[in-house]
Every structure is written in C-alpha cells, then in structure tokens.
Amino acid sequence: MTAEIEAWKYPRQVTVARHAGFCLGVDRAVKSAYNLAARTAARQPLYMLGELIHNHQVIDSLTRQGFVVAERPEDIPPAATVLIRAHGISPEVRQALLAKNCSLSDATCGYVTKIHHIVRKAWDGGRKVILTGNPSHPEIQGINGECAGTAIIFQTPDEAQAYEFADDSYILASQTTFSVKTFNEIRKVLQNKIALLQIFDTICDATETRQREVAELAADSEVILIIGSRTSSNTRKLFDASEVASGDRYQVETPGEVRQLLEQGKLAGKRVGVTAGASSPESIIREVIHIMSENEAVNKDLEQGDVSFSDFIDQIPQLHRGATVKGVIVRYDDDFVYVDVRDKSEGKIPRHEFENNPDFDLDKAIEDRTEIDVYVRSIRNTELGKEILLSKARVDFAKYKNEVETAFREKTPITVKVVNVVKDGVIATYGGIDIYIHRTQLELGTVQDLEPYRDQTFDILITQFDPEKRRLRVSGSRRALLNRDRKTKAEELWNNIAVGDIYDGVVRSLTDFGAFVDIGGVDGLVHISELSWNRIKHPSEVVKVGDVIQVYVKDFDPEKKRISLGYKRIEDDPYHNIEERFPQGSIVHGKVVRMFNFGAFVEIAPGVDALCHVSQISSHRLNRPEEVLKEGMEVDARVLDVNNENRRISISIKDVAPIDETVDGQALTSEKDSHQDSRGDDLPTSYQDKDQNTTIGTVVQSNEGTEAAADDSAATTEPETNEEA
C-alpha cells in the first residue's frame, strides 16, 4: 500500500504546457496500430519493424494486442502483416519486405514522408544531401536511404565547421525532432562555407512549438517535469531546452517516478511546470497531474493557473457538438479527410464532402496546411482517445446559401459550374448549392443540345430563391444576365458609333441577302455583296454562325436602330492596283479556265481572269477556242488593255506565241460556228453587265467588228504575200 505523502511535500503551483503529449504523427501511428489489431483475426501475428514509438507502456500494450517487435526485416516471415513505425523506413528496407510478399501498413509521420520526398528529389537531381540529427536514429537512417546512404550528417556546429566540402550543390534538411537552436547554429556555419546551399527547415512544428513553450514555462517555474521515454529524441530535446534558473529539472517515464520525487521533497512548495514528449500518452500525463494535485491547496492553485488541467485535456474549450471551428487538413484516405482541430485527436470529414468541389486539391491543401471551417457533428470518447466527426459540407452549405440569397436579393451575378444535364435544362452548383437553369435561360437564342454545357463555368443571375420548402429551391438565368449586359453595351455603342469604326463581331444568323453580326449589344447587317469580292450565292460560302469576324461600319441609322456593315476590304480585292500589276504591253502567264465561242478566259492571278478573244489565239482563223485550247492549259500572253473601272483585262496569246496546231491534230477548219453561247452564269463577275439584262451580248457584238476586220485584213495581206513570194 502506497504511503500517504505529507502535505508540505506537494508543489505550491502546477502549470501544464498547452502542447504536451502525443503529436499528430504519433497519435495517428498508435491509432493505426490498434485499428490494425482490431481488424486482424486472433492468433494471427502482427509485426512492427522496430518500436512504433519511444514509449514502453504503449509498446507493452500493443504487444498484448498481438504485435511482435522485429528489429530487422530478416526477422519477419514471408507474407506477414507489418506496421511501419512513425519514424519511417528506407527504400531498401521497404523493397526487402515487399520482396517477401509482406502486407505493409504505413504509419510513417507525414512530416517524415515529406523529408523523404525532398531528399529523393535532390539526390535524383545530382545534388548532395546534408542532414542534422542523430545518425543512429531510425528516422535519419530511413531518410538517408533515399540518397543511397551518402548523406553528410551533423549533430553539432563544430562537426559542420570541421568538415571540408567539395564545390558542389547541396541541400540541408533535418530530423523532425532535432533541436531548433542547434539546427540554426549549424545552418549559419554551412551558409558561410557552401555557395550553393538550399535549406529546408524540416523540424516538425510540434517540436519547435514545444521547445519554445518549455523554455517560456521554465522561465516562470522553479522545477520542470518532462514526461517521456529516456530513449525518445524529442523528449531529450525538451529536457535540453528546459533550463531552469535553479537547475531543478527532472525527466520521468512513469507516475511512480513522480511519486518518488514528492516523497523526497524535491517538489515541495515549488512552482512546477509540466510538459510531455510527443510519445507520451494522455493517460500517463493525466495520472502525473492527478498525483501532484491530490493535495487540496495544490489542486486549487492548479485550477487557477494560466493553463488549467481541463484546458490541457480539451485544448479547445469551444470544441463541442454543434460548434463551428477552424482546422488544418493533414491527411486523407479512401473514406475520410483528417483535420487537426488543435485537439488531442484528429477530426475526420467524410471524403465525399469534397467531391462537390472538384477543383479542391487535397494534396496541395495538405502541403500548404490549408485551414478550413468545420462543423462538429459528434465527439465520442474511446479507448484510443476522442473520435471527432466533422463536416465541411454543413459549414459550406450555410456559407454559400447566404451568398446565394444575397445575390438573389441584390441581383448580383455569381459564377456557377454545370454538373449535370436534365430533361429541360442543366443543374449547376455554387459551393454545393444546386441551381436549376432551364434551357431557355442559357442563351439569348434557342438551345437544342444541352450536353456541351456540361462542366462549363459561367455567370448567372439568381431568379428564384425559396428556402421555405423542405429542400432549398434555387433557379438561375444566364439569359437575363446576357440581356442586361447586352443593353448596357448597346447604349455605349450607340453613344460612340461612327462610320469607319472597326469591330470584332460574332455572326448570329444568316439569310439569303446577308449575315447579321453582333458587334457588342447590337446586330448589324453585312449584305451578301459585302462578304466577298467573288460572286457567291449564299453567305454560308464565306461565314457560318458563331464565327468571330472583323467588320467596319458603312452606315447607321440611330432612329431605326440599323447598322450597315462591311466585311470585304479593298486590299483583298484581286483587282486592287490591277493597272500597276499588269500594265498594258506586259507579258503574263496563266491557265485557261473557261471557254466560250467568242474567246477564252485565262486566270493570270488568283481571282483575276483575262479575256483572250478568239481572234487573238491563233494566226489562223478559229471558229471556237476549243479547236486549239483546252481547260487547264498554261499559256503566255500580252496584255492589250486594262480597264480597272470595269474590272476587265484583254490579252493576246497570238502576240506572244500563236497556237496554230489543233488539240486533236486535225487540220484547222475555216467554217464558222454560228452557235451563240449563252452561259452567262459562268462568266467572271467583272465580265457581266450588272446594269443590263444581258450578260455578254455587248461583248460579243463589239467583238464581231474585230472578227470581220481580222477577216478583211487576212484577205488583203495574203495576195501581197504571194506576190512577194
């Protein structure tokens, strides 16, 4: 039976550090172990490679649950279930276990995993690795494995100062539980010795916070108690950081050691500060506090201290069912996302609550330690600690519901994303709030196919908000917003429009006589004759609905709200500067494209057809051009006349190289074909008479005189030629 401790031997005041006991990484590892034991059939051995954490009480408890501690991979049988401890393992050890078909349950601390990635990336990139920490510590050994065991490891600034570095690129990282003070001292030494050094401060936040906190606690205490295993690195660092002016500080592993200190009078009448290493379970801390508070006076001082025992246990006084608190996303699995709500246990959110926002990147949130608002749905005490069920969706729903209601009331637009297509419309979402948009409210015009709108993001106006129903009903309209924007743009356009203004417009519709183009709130008409320099039968030959084209204002009527637009430009006219490009007398090369009884059209440039009269093709009299020409034949000719105003060019093949041989090798005939070709529709636009009903009549009549003159000339010259001969 334990002897009663005299009242005078109790401390005068006890202050508990706010951050004491299991850190998140250790807490997760321990929970993983107990959960694994619960899921595994009885009598089936479970293995942990090295002690899960540095705490004998926890290891003994896990051993009773069926775990076997193995120091080497060789000690583990094939196909065994192996729990990877919080310190992590090297890639080599991991491969050895996988080669034995072992099933691995990885409880490596997230901070340690991050260091593994940093070192591996640096090593793969050809950089050398420097680590601060204990070379024999399992965490350092695992990290060193990522760079094939080549890391340079320092424990003191003197070691770093004495080392001779090569002229290479280095990175510096640290064991998560290393002394912050020593790390900073080593960093300063290395910065003075290495030109290319990238520094990663990988000391765990919990380690840094606890070391700083215990130093502050020691300044206000006469005695410091550090609870934790003597094999724990972070506990030793806490002890080193807890220098007390009087020099009284003690590291204890069990409540029994605290009782011994009380019996020896080491704490008598003193102000005692208490903290615990990251591997110390809550039950031990609770019992230590209970032992020191058995005296009524001490218990009173404990409760009135800056940090009460209830604060230590609960950490966050407002953490209760129904509360909304802030938390940091730390990890996730297939079912839950885990959040640090600054409690002794992590809270968990069902994974599906994040699926409503596909743009939310969980991996980045963990890397950035993103803080979110969460709703506490339930808190349940178990043997493993508190089980806290949280909800992000409930907080988001309330938040976004208010924003949607405000948008409805103030008629302000919100940005939504379409997530589903239904019979007569689409379902869009705004922060998890479903909004129905009817097909008639998607565009200014009619929408037939809704599928292209899936996954689109755009702005809408809320047109219905009904919170009174059992389920919130919200409707929206993109059309209303487009109409509002269109009216605003139209007013601005009519106030500033001028002839010659250039706009980038969208083709809205096509008719037989032209295209209607939206130039910003107002539709203007591009007449079919303004679409192309070539003759077209329908605007669809040049543009289609939805095309973005550049147009210019030809004319407008503000009263009738009409705008005439131009599309074709003078510089695009194939006859632009034609007299300069093809001066009279110049030689041109072209291809025969069409033939009529009166002559052949030769394309001498893209869009430019020149007429070679039948009398200007051969030195012999021809009835039709087909006698010596065929479509596609390339010829050389001289320019006889250029009429830019009438867009006509006359050429002569005969003046350059007359074609005197028939196409089929037959002798030329002088018989005249009186057939009149009336294929006016095939003529180039420049050779059609737009002011009269006939298309080529005038051209034919004018050429008859030329043809007769050619006959007379031939009749008078041939006898003279014979006489000379």
Q: Where in the chain is the domain with CATH 3.40.1010.20?
A: 7-21+206-314, 110-203
Which residue, 314, 308, 312, 344, is CA-closest to 14?
308
pLDDT confidence bin for 259, thresholds 50/70/90: confident
Provide the pLDDT confidence category of residue 193 given band limits of 50, 70 and 90: very high
More confident residue, 93 or 325: 93
CA distance 522 to 506: 11
| Closest among 329, 330, 362 to 26, alpha carbons compared | 330
Nearest to 439 by CA among 418, 457, 414: 418
Q: Nearest-CA neighbor of 458 among 416, 405, 422, 401? A: 416
* 192, 221 Cβ separation under 8 angstroms: no
pLDDT tens digits, residue range 150-177?
999 999 999 999 999 998 999 999 998 8
pLDDT tens-digit profile of 223-241? 888 888 887 777 887 888 8
- What mean pLDDT is predicted for residues 630-659? 90
Task: Tell me the average pLDDT across 28-45.
Answer: 77
> How far apart are alpha carbons 522 and 297 in whole angstroms?
85
User: Which neighbouring-strand residues pair with 70?
Assistant: 49
| Confidence band of 43 (pLDDT split at 50, 70, 90) | low
From the list 110, 184, 122, 109, the residue with the least C-alpha distance to 152 is: 122
- In whole angstroms, what is the distance from residue 86 CA to residue 107 CA? 5
Stronger pLDDT, 723 or 260, i.e. the higher one: 260
Are the beta carbons of 643 and 626 closer than 8 angstroms? no
The amino acid that residue 538 corresponds to is H
Which CATH number describes the domain made up of 324-391?
2.40.50.140
- Residue 703 confidence (pLDDT) above 60: no
Least-confidence region, from 197-201, 502-506, 628-632, 704-708: 704-708
Residue owning tokens 């209607």: 516
The torsion defined by the Cα of 370, 373, 376 and 380, in degrees rounded to 10, comes to 10
- In sequence order, the 6+-apart residues with CB closer than 8 A to the CB of 73 are 49, 93, 96, 97, 100
110-203: what fold? Cobalt-precorrin-4 Transmethylase; domain 1 (3.40.1010)
Contact 695, 683 (CB under 8 A): yes
271/547 Cα distance (integer angstroms): 82
CA 95 to chain centre: 34
pLDDT confidence of residue 469: 66
pLDDT given at position 706: 40
- Mean pLDDT, the chain, rounded, equals 81
User: Is the model's pTM score more than 0.85?
Assistant: no
pLDDT category of residue 673 using cuts at 50, 70 and 90: very low
Fold classification of 497-572 is: OB fold (Dihydrolipoamide Acetyltransferase, E2P) (2.40.50)
Between the alpha carbon of residue 114 and those of residues 119, 120, 175, the distances in Å are: 9, 10, 11
Q: Is residue 588's pLDDT more than 50?
A: yes
**What end-to-end distance do the CA atoms of the chain give, in Å?**
157
Q: Which residue did the predictor score with more confidence, 389 or 697? A: 389
Residue ranges, CATH 2.40.50.140, the chain: 324-391, 396-482, 497-572, 578-716
Which range is least confidently modeled, 14-23, 31-40, 302-311, 553-562? 302-311
Which pLDDT belongs to residue 426?
A: 93
- Nearest Cα to 460, choosing from 420, 489, 417, 517? 417
Q: Which residue has the tokens 């080529």?
A: 696
Write down the pLDDT at residue 458: 92
Question: Tokens 């290479």 — which residue?
Answer: 168
Pick the CATH number of 396-482 from 2.40.50.140, 3.60.10.10, 1.10.940.10, 2.60.40.420: 2.40.50.140
Hey, which of 138-147, 460-469, 546-555 has the most confident mean pLDDT? 138-147
The number of helix segments (H) and strand segments (E) in the chain equals 18, 32
| Helices 110-124 and 24-39, axial angle in degrees (round to 10) | 100
697: pLDDT strictly greater than 60: no
- Comparing CA positions, the residue from 48, 169, 174, 28 lying closest to residue 109 is 28
Q: Please, are residues 253 and 225 in contact by the beta-carbon 8 Å criterion? A: no
Average pLDDT over every residue of 238-266? 81
Per-residue CA distances from 610 to 302, 304, 601, 607 (Å): 109, 108, 5, 10
Q: Which fold has domain 7-21+206-314?
A: Cobalt-precorrin-4 Transmethylase; domain 1 (3.40.1010)
The whole-angstrom separation of Cα 517 and Cα 502 is 13
Where does 100-232 have alpha helices with state H? 110-124, 138-144, 157-162, 180-193, 205-219
Task: Note the pLDDT of residue 381.
Answer: 65
User: Residue 20's closest CA among 284, 317, 385, 347?
Assistant: 284
Per-residue pLDDT at 690: 42
The number of residues making up the chain comes to 725
What pLDDT shows up at residue 653?
Answer: 92
Top mean-pLDDT range of 89-98, 395-404, 441-450, 533-542:
89-98
φ, ψ for residue 129 (rounded to 5)?
-115, 130
CATH homologous superfamily for the domain 578-716 = Nucleic acid-binding proteins (2.40.50.140)
Instruction: Judge whether residue 698 has pLDDT over 80.
Output: no
Partner residues linked to 426 by β-bridges? 421, 437
Averaged pLDDT, 667-688: 46
Cα distances (angstroms) measured from residue 448 to each of 175, 423, 440, 443, 541: 62, 11, 9, 11, 24
The pLDDT-based confidence of 62 (bands split at 50, 70, 90) is confident
* Chain Cα centroid distance, residue 199: 28
Closest CA to 294 of 302, 305, 306, 284: 302
Q: Are 346 and 24 in contact (CB under 8 A)?
A: yes
- pLDDT for position 363: 85
Do 461 and 452 touch, CB atoms closer than 8 A? Answer: no
Tell whether the model's pLDDT for residue 180 goes beyond 50.
Answer: yes
Q: What confidence tens digit (pLDDT) does each residue in 353-392 have?
A: 887 666 788 888 888 888 888 888 888 766 555 678 999 8
Rounded CA-CA distance 601/593 in Å is: 6
Residue at token pair 């690195």: 233
Token pair, residue 583, equals 């001066």
Is the confidence at residue 432, as pLDDT, over 60? yes
Helix-helix angle 205-219:233-241, to 10 degrees = 30
Name the percent of the chain in helix, strand, coil, to the closest 5: 35, 25, 40
Answer with the residue of higher pLDDT: 120 or 43.
120
- Please determine, for residue 708, whether its predicted confidence score (pLDDT) is greater than 50: no
Cα–Cα distances (Å) from 138 to 86, 144, 203, 295, 432, in that order, read 10, 10, 16, 42, 45
**pLDDT(679) > 50:** no
Nearest C-alpha neighbor of 14 from the set 272, 313, 304, 286? 272
Which residues are designated catalytic? 139
